[in-house]
Amino acid sequence: MPAPFKAAAVQFEPTMFEKERNIAGLLALVGEAADRGARLIVTPEMGTTGYCWHERAEVAPFVEPIPGPTTERFAALARAKNCFIVVGMPEVDPTTDLYYNSAVLIGPEGVVGTHRKTHPYISEPKWAVSGDLGHEVFETEIGRIALLICMDIHFIETARLAGLKGADVICHVSNWLAERTPAPYWINRAFENGCYLIEANRWGLERGVQFSGGSCIIAPDATILSVVDGGDGIATAEIDPALARARTVWGEPIFRQRRPELYRELMTNTFAWNPGDFFRLYGHQPLPEGRQAKVAAAQMHPGDDARSNLREIGRIARAAAGEGEGAELVVFPELALTGLARPSEKAIGADSPILIDLQGLAAELKLHLVVGFAERDGARSFNSAILVGPEGVLGVYRKIHLTEAEKSWAEPGEVWALFDLPFGRLGLLIGHDMSFPEAGRILALKGCDLIACPAAIRDRFHAGHEGTSVAQPAPIPTGPDPLHWHQYRVRAGENNCWLAFANVHAPLDGYPGHSGVFGPDTFLFPRQETVVQGNGSYALMTVDTGSLGGPYPTHVVRRKDLVLMRQPHHYRDLIAPRAT
């Protein structure tokens, strides 16, 4: 096991057309970080040249092969300081004359490996082609190192591949923009993969684009260990490979709990064609007509008595569906009906009077309810959620990803659950399911407009932000935000789905609540979301799955840009059998 070591994230503002000045500035900052004891030093995307190139001809004088003159200058510094350096630069492949947005890992012995950006931002196709080297993890004397570039990390698959290949640390070089940083996506990718993330971002204004800064080092538990807000600077922190190799989220062995046999659809791209045409092909399971609807995420503290829990469910549902509110769907927490304690003893069957009465409540209020409960089916028990509506029971979802504690009383489910409601396609996940980014992605690929997630999560899944000094154009917020990182907001945005997250609220027992309905675009400000405030019982949001007309969907939840832009041919390792 490699020993702990110091790492550094370099923040820097390059100047276009001044390559020599940029390289000299980066060498100085890298040298300073090495003198502070850093063994791994990461610099920003395209740090040697600047980023906002108009076209291939404009950047042509500044591209280089790898290895080449620029990498040799950094290799000389790596040799002298006995360190590893990640450099972001435009690369030319001499055999094809193709250009790439690349990051290169350089050590005391020279170039260790290169990553070519696989998932381009809107600007790359003006001059570069998509990367063809996959997503490798490089074994070094200090640990296992993965490289990703900016837009790559919007996609759950890239960081997951790094984690599955054993990365201790993901070095993410970027030119991030349009939000406060450290960005929620950065935090989530470290957290969900149980590894460190070193984020080297640029700052400053280039061709009218304001970059966000916020370079940082993020621990496997989502703690921001060190950060630079604005300006050139260096963030340093200790990396302990042993913590990363534990591969835990909330103490759960997250990679052993994956269900790759159920992830085959990750290799598909269902949004490559007009999704309206694709999902109605052969008349099989066409998407419902989209429209606006009000959805509520409820929170409560389930007790030991199912009848009392049902009364509380009824009280909240009546309020959410009542005059002036008008909810069509209300989502309740995990085990909301049967209670959190001793679920195996409280488990009920499909013919239970309490479930019949729940159906009666939905019929009376003329709305749909998603409610978590412990289910008994013969000798088997499941952690389940039922969907009921005015028409009766639409179905039951059995939790696919169980915690270690749940395995003592429940069996895992084997089938993803999707239901077509009057306003859109609904998918169900429960609590710990959402710790697995693969789960939400599969529901998105199946055309879900909305994911409902009953939960009973007491561990930290959120963090605040003190605000940034980096000026941003309106309406991008820069001030303090107590819920800057909320894992379930990220899950909604990365899948271009609405997400109704209904968590247990019991502060004295450690359940924080923070239930809400989150929008399908996390870069749309002000955000399309609502979170339960204070001691409230529910958060209500008008969701929209409709389009403006015409043959192609115009709403992000139906066209799913981030799902369309995936590169599934890189993802094969996501469906490999679990390691024993």
- The residue with greater pLDDT, 535 or 258, is 258
Judged against a pLDDT cut of 90, whether residue 215 lies above it is answered with yes
User: Can 124 be counted among the known catalytic residues?
Assistant: no
Given a cut of 90, whether residue 578 has pLDDT beyond it is no
User: How sure is the predictor about 579, in pLDDT bands with cuts at 50, 70 and 90?
Assistant: low
Burial of 264 (0-12, 13-18, 19+ CB in 10 A): exposed
Marked catalytic residue, from 13, 45, 124, 192: 45
| Peptide linkage before 67 cis (omega within 30 of 0) | yes
Residue 17 has pLDDT above 50, yes or no: yes
117 annotated active-site: yes
Residue 580 has pLDDT above 60, yes or no: no
Using one digit for the tens of pLDDT, what is the confidence trace for 417-426? 999 999 999 9
For the chain, give the mean pLDDT: 97
Q: According to the model, what pLDDT value does residue 414 have? A: 98
Dump pLDDT digits (tens) for 24-51: 999 999 999 999 999 999 999 999 999 9
Q: Which helix (H) or strand (E) holds 343?
A: helix 343-346
Number of C-beta neighbours around residue 38 at 10 A: 25
pLDDT digits (tens, 9 = 90+) for 348-366: 999 999 999 999 999 999 9
Catalytic residue among 6, 19, 81, 117: 117
CA atoms within 13 A of residue 517's CA, in its CB half-sphere: 23
195 is catalytic: no
Instruction: Indicate which residue of 6, 124, 150, 334 is catalytic.
Output: 150
pLDDT at res. 534: 85
**What does DSSP assign to residue 348?**
B
Write the DSSP string, 177-210: BSS-SS-HHHHHHHHHHTSEEEEEEBEEEETTEE
Sheet holding 538-544, edge to edge: 392-398, 380-389, 368-377, 329-331, 292-298, 538-544
Count of other CB atoms within 10 angstroms of residue 24: 11
